[in-house]
Amino acid sequence: MKHLARILPVFAIILLIFNNLHCQERTKVYQGFDGGMMIHSGFLTGDLSPIDLKVGGAPVGLGGVVRIHLGSHWMIGSEGYVSTLRQLHNGSYIRYGWGGLLTEFYWPFKVAMPYAGLTIGGGSQTMMLLLEGDSGDWQKEDNAVFHKQGFFALSPFLGCDFIISQRFHLTLKADYLCPITHNKMLTPNGVRIFVGFVFYH
């Protein structure tokens, strides 16, 4: 939390500085909306101290985003994703479902549109870990862990749209879930990479 308290104000200041570079443009407020879908992966790692187990790997997930364009460089909206991390090669998994409200600044160029933003929201983390046995053997497992917890989180992100046409973009972004719920740290955690498409209207 100490690192988060230092990073987020700096991140917000940077966004405001870049946005203010374009404040002199006088345009109508509502500029349209967009929506799209993304797949994601990345690398997560961490230690589950209650059961003394190190977990990690590449998650696989799917989700989407909807945003309203306000002015020439600002969007607000929402996003949501489900992400599954397979473990122990026996059917065990750690799954995240999360979403929230986002604010985002973007800077359009001829063929690319870099952006940066912050999502505020939450979700749940579900763990099903078979410490012995296998999920496909139809045997009762005595050494297993099931754990589920909700969380609130901030998710700063950076990305870039690649402009295929005025109405269709490909997008690439990276984010990091920063938990803010007391005593409920997200483990494992790490950077996720998203690839997808967005339709603009």
For 1-32, the pLDDT digits (tens) are 545 555 555 555 555 555 554 554 455 788 89
Q: For residues 153 and 149, what is the distance between their CA atoms, to the nearest angstrom?
A: 13
Question: Rounded mean pLDDT of 167-180?
Answer: 94
92-134 pLDDT, tens per residue? 999 999 999 999 999 999 999 999 999 999 999 999 998 887 7
pLDDT at 186: 78
Question: Rounded mean pLDDT of 63-68?
Answer: 96
Question: Rounded mean pLDDT of 150-160?
Answer: 94
**CATH number, residue 134:** 2.40.160.20
Q: For residues 159 and 38, what is the distance between their CA atoms, to the nearest angstrom?
A: 12
- The band of 83, judged by pLDDT with boundaries at 50, 70 and 90, is very high
pLDDT at 50: 84
- Whether residue 141 has pLDDT greater than 60: yes
Determine the distance from the C-alpha atom of residue 42 to the mean position of all C-alpha atoms in its chain, rounded to a whole number.
Answer: 11
pTM check: above 0.85: no
Range name among 3-17, 35-49, 81-95, 178-192 with the lowest pLDDT average: 3-17
- Please report, as a single letter, which amino acid is at residue 150: G
Q: For residues 63 and 198, what is the distance between their CA atoms, to the nearest angstrom?
A: 12
- What is the overall mean pLDDT for the chain? 86
CA distances from 26 to 21, 23, 113, 198 (A): 13, 8, 20, 26
Cis peptide before 50 (omega within 30 of 0): no
- The band of 180, judged by pLDDT with boundaries at 50, 70 and 90, is confident
- What is the number of structural domains in the chain? 1
Which of these, 21, 36, 32, lies nearest to 71 by C-alpha position? 32
**Residue 174 near residue 119 (C-beta atoms within 8 A):** no
| Residue 6 belongs to domain spanning | 2-22+30-200
158-167 pLDDT, tens per residue? 999 999 999 9
pLDDT at 58: 95
